[in-house]
Structure 1
Amino acid sequence: MHTMDAVLDTFSNSSVYRGRFAPSPTGPLHFGSLVTAVGSYLDARSHNGEWRVRIEDLDPPREVPGAARDMLVLLEKLGMEWDGEVVYQSQRHDLYRAALAQLKKETLIYPCFCSRKEVAASKLTGIDGPIYPGTCRKARDNGQNNQQQKRSAMRVTTDNRRIKLVDRVQGFLSQRIGQDIGDFTLRRTDGVFAYQLAVVVDDADQHITHVVRGSDLLDSTPRQIFLQQLLKYPVPVYMHLPLATNRRGEKLSKQTFAAPVSQFDVLSQLVAALRFLGQNPPQALHDSNLETFWQWAVQHWRTDRIPISSAPVSFFIK
């Protein structure tokens, strides 16, 4: 089984770098998505590495028709070239089922029939809200047949091991999964695979060595490392970027009516993303072209300049 220090040493000493950008097609890309795309792209290219694109379309009811296609078109207009074929999570269910089967074989998951209301009524609270009290874990040997299990959620059995993470921007993070999170869901009652499972399986299958994404996912990372340990997958190197917010301090999203990235005047938006990431682009870059922009940005990429905390987008878009 991999330890975090061993894996970090492995990737740090390796000449291979493979990163990825993995948006969800729930709407058009906004400035926050652009920051993640730019940050992950520059980190990969500055290491002479690969940059993959994965569409995380796990949840069909939340998907906006045409959003995935529009994202890819926009990335092309931004001058961002990805390596390999675009991967869609909706086409990878067999991989997720195989991972669940492996965990089931090792008696590490169990069916859960509790409603959201029952879970919410738990008096246990962790960093992500109510902690599942383990009701169905205690009843796991009650002889439920396969047909009944298909109508249930599937939860992973957690323990009190301490998961440690040294994030390249956010620094040290430590969680006890059992105490801070509890047994979390890997497949919902409606059959939809949970993000935590899918992202771990996909990163391992695609041989992703470095994950660069928004800091809203920082607290999820120990859960993913926990699953990587259970499934005996290597642990990528993580870097969580600051979140772009509106003037009220809310994360940019579809729910907060974030404006989409325009397909026109893309250069000024790219420069704004660089400024947001603390890279101090020169004024002359505003009047350049995409080729010159990316050459400068890759050559001058400095992760030690990336701020830790979130910031309003209005400070960076003029």
Structure 2
Amino acid sequence: MSVFDGQPVFRLCSADQYAAVCIHRRSGADGFYDAPSPEIGVRASGLLGRQRSVGGGCPETFCLYRWPMNSCLLDFVHDVGVANTAEEVGQRFIQFAQKRDASVVHMFMETKLSGFRATTIPYEVLEEEVHDCQFGTSQIVELVKSGTPRVYWGVDVDQSNPLLPELDLRISETRFHQLRQRNSVTFPMPDADGLYRGAGVGIGFEDRGETFLTHMAESCGSLAMASFSAHSRIQLLLSQERAPSPLSKRQGEILELLAAGFQLSAIADKLGIADSTVNLHLAQLKKKLNVKTKEQALAMAIANGWISL
């Protein structure tokens, strides 16, 4: 498989049934890219410099980890890679996690409720959690924003943390009583620039404390890899989504003719309107787009795909 911007690609090594996850994307603001978990990643700088044996020679392509593969995980990453919408990726991830006995799945691109989410949590429960976290102190949220590799929490796990804020304890109790989530793992996820600001993937289980920790010891790595793959693909798809065109039909026609090289008088003749009407449409368009020239308006329309060339 080839590696292309933003899409996770598994490269299967048939000799030992290991795979390398490669992502072609910009590094973070500090020139590095921090992978989301020790189980699945190392700093990209090491792979690009001293350990290029797996990552390949492309300056912006790096291997995250070599992990023992199973066909289900490989199939999942392939399906994510060919998905066309963020919603489709989210649903595929939910199904993947539920097949691994997850009772709650929550993928979020930011802590605000307005951000994209793929979740099994009812909206009213989610709304209350987000509201409470905005006005209270949550250690879990702070850990996610700090990029901690993984965060374990829940009614059983919380008992080992006497300093946990009351807000986190209340959320754990609510998840347990309303959603059958006894314990959970959350993987913080980086934004496109490599920085952690509150995106993440949470996967909850009915498992009791020791059973949950044993379960995580066995499957945390593959869950983290699947989470990162889905998150990266959603990032790419959301970045490619275009806002609806703000242009009226006539404004679009005028810009398309401008792009084709027609002068204003020729545009007026072709559309069967007066020169002054063309100028009026352009004046309204420049005001709408907050630009000073028709050339700037044209460039914005082309860049955003609002007109056909």
TM-score bracket relative to the smaller structure? under 0.3
TM-score, structure 2 length as denominator? 0.27
Structure with more contact order per residue of length (Cα contacts < 8 Å, sep ≥ 6): 1
Quick check: which has more Rg, 1 or 2? 2
